[in-house]
């Protein structure tokens, strides 16, 4: 708790300092030609030959006014009303692209692992630390790792302009930001996921494997690569692993972040799926998900939606013991909760704050780190 507090205070001070500097920057470096739509059109410089319909900017999508007729609509929380009004909107302009992320499309098979990390525009510190730690673009065990952050537009309109500028600066410096012109909100994460699969089809059709997750996880990409190298088929077969969740259904309690009312789905159960905090899939499976998603209405919970796509494709998600997206239970009370020996064996753990990612990434790579008996969880399915 003490640690958490100090971090918060530091973060507040840093962000205040940063914000003052940022205001200065905006004031001195602002010109009338940088409002978002302009930026967008300047950045849509992809090659027409490879771009599909889904990558092209389109006219604004209209709200479906008839949803107001659905019984009980007026009593629903605002974000659910919005979901129902806009769920038919599936095409959004790509404001920031990295067309050559995987090289020319005919050589994208040379990318072994693409890290596709969902990140809201405001999560700058998380992206910075991920770039320097587990998300670094590198060659490891002879294979190539690449990274993209998946983002929408800040949902708070007062932040939109400066956060668009931030993402653009990051994109120029790191070439790792995909941004689409929709509101980046929790209930739009499925939209983000669907647009990502469409982007994959156009830009990185041959990528072997994909890590798909949030920006608050600690992913041990060394172990992920070692595990994926041991998987037969090199990405040409079905693979979809993570923390498997089965026998659950929609939460009907209004207070829950995951509340899904009958107006969204009458079904009482979800298909098996993997926790969306972090999972691994093959290029083959990404393609299958893309195809199924075209004919499947959006569902507000993104990881459940992937489960629905898999079910439609006749493919099953599987569990991997080394992926812990729903809380970590440290195996023994003798181990410290932050013991690098524990994390060294895992593939992925949910909820690290940025500085913890830095410390842990360095610690598991310390040549003098001595650990006891290996639990070797990363090799087991
Ligand atoms: C449903 O909504 C539309 C659009 O708001 C409206 O024109 C129509 O009268 C409504 N229909 C019913 C049955 O309430
Ligand atoms: C609009 O909402 C109504 C009521 O839910 C639905 O029947 C209709 O299919 C929707 N239209 C579109 C374009 O999604
Ligand atoms: C990919 O396409 C380019 C241009 O069409 C061509 O020059 C190149 O040889 C191709 N590369 C491979 C690996 O097929
Ligand atoms: C999703 O994004 C669209 C486009 O920006 C927006 O109109 C809609 O309200 C968003 N939906 C939710 C549930 O936030």
pLDDT category, 334, cuts 50, 70, 90? low
pLDDT at 51: 37
Residue closest via CA to ligand 1's atom 14 equals: 69
Q: Render pLDDT for 92-144 as a digit per residue (tens, 0 to 9).
A: 999 999 999 999 888 999 999 999 999 999 999 999 999 999 999 999 999 99
**Which atom in ligand 2 lies closest to the alpha carbon of residue 64?**
1
Q: Tell me the ligand closest to 63's alpha carbon.
A: 4
Residue 68 Cα to ligand 2 midpoint, Å, equals 10
Q: Render pLDDT for 16-59 as a digit per residue (tens, 0 to 9).
A: 444 433 333 333 333 332 233 333 333 333 333 333 444 444 45
Mean pLDDT of 175-190: 97
Q: Render pLDDT for 272-326 as a digit per residue (tens, 0 to 9).
A: 999 989 999 999 999 999 999 999 999 999 999 999 999 999 999 999 888 887 6
Threshold 0.85, pTM exceeds: no
Quote the CA–CA distance of 221 and 364 in Å, as a whole number. Answer: 12
Residue closest via CA to ligand 1's atom 3 equals: 66
Residues near 92 by beta carbon (within 8 Å), at least 6 away in sequence: 58, 61, 180, 181, 182, 191, 195
Confirm if 68 and 80 have CB atoms less than 8 A apart.
Answer: no
Distances from the Cα of 50 to the Cαs of 46, 102, 105, 309, 351, in angstroms?
Answer: 8, 13, 8, 25, 37
Residues near 8 by beta carbon (within 8 Å), at least 6 away in sequence: none
Residue 182 Cα to ligand 2 midpoint, Å, equals 20
The residue behind tokens 């064996």 is 345
From the number of C-beta atoms within 10 Å of its C-beta (0-12, 13-18, 19+), residue 206 rates as: middle
Ligand 1 pocket check for 247: Cβ under 6 Å: no
Quote the CA–CA distance of 2 and 284 in Å, as a whole number. Answer: 46
- Best mutation site among 47, 100, 102, 104 for ligand 3 pocket (most ligand atoms within 8 Å of CB): 104
Q: Is the pLDDT score of 12 beyond 60?
A: no
Residue 89 Cα to ligand 1 midpoint, Å, equals 20
pLDDT at 308: 98
Class of domain 32-46+87-323: alpha beta
pLDDT at 342: 76
Mean pLDDT of 349-368: 89
Q: Pseudo-torsion of CA 108, 109, 111, 112, nearest 10°?
A: 160
């Amino acid at each position: 708790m003490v640690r958490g507090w100090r971090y918060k205070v530091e973060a507040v001070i840093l962000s205040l300092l940063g914000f003052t500097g940022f205001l200065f920057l905006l004031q001195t470096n602002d010109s009338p030609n940088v409002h978002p739509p302009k930026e967008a059109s300047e950045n849509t410089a992809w090659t027409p030959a490879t771009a599909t319909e889904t990558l092209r900017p389109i006219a604004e999508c209209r709200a479906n006014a008839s949803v107001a007729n659905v019984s009980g609509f007026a009593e629903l929380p605002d974000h659910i009303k919005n979901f129902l009004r806009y769920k038919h909107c599936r095409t959004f302009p790509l404001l920031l692209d990295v067309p050559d992320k995987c090289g020319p499309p005919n050589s994208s098979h040379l990318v072994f692992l693409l890290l596709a990390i969902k990140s809201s525009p405001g999560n700058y510190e998380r992206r910075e630390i991920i770039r320097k730690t587990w998300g670094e673009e590198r060659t490891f065990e002879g294979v190539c790792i690449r990274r993209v952050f998946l983002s929408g537009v800040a949902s708070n309109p007062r932040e939109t302009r400066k956060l668009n500028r931030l993402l653009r600066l990051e994109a120029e410096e790191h070439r790792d930001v995909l941004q689409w012109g929709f509101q980046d909100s929790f209930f739009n994460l499925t939209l983000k996921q669907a647009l990502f699969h469409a982007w994959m089809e156009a830009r990185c059709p041959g990528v072997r494997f994909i890590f798909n997750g949030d920006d608050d996880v600690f992913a041990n990409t060394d172990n992920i690569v070692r595990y994926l190298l041991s998987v037969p088929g090199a990405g040409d077969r079905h693979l979809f692993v993570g923390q498997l969740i089965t026998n659950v259904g929609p939460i009907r309690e209004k207070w829950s972040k995951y509340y899904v009312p009958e107006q969204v789905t009458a079904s009482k159960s979800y298909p098996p799926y993997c926790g969306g905090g972090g999972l691994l899939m093959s290029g083959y499976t990404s393609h299958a998900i893309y195809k199924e998603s075209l004919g499947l209405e959006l569902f507000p919970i993104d990881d459940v939606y992937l489960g629905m796509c898999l079910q439609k494709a006749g493919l099953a998600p599987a569990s991997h013991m080394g992926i812990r997206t729903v809380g970590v239970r440290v195996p023994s009370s003798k181990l410290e909760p932050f013991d690098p020996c524990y994390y060294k064996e895992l593939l992925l753990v949910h909820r690290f704050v940025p500085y913890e990612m830095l410390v842990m990434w360095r610690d598991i790579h310390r040549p003098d780190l001595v650990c006891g008996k290996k639990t070797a969880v990363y090799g087991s399915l």
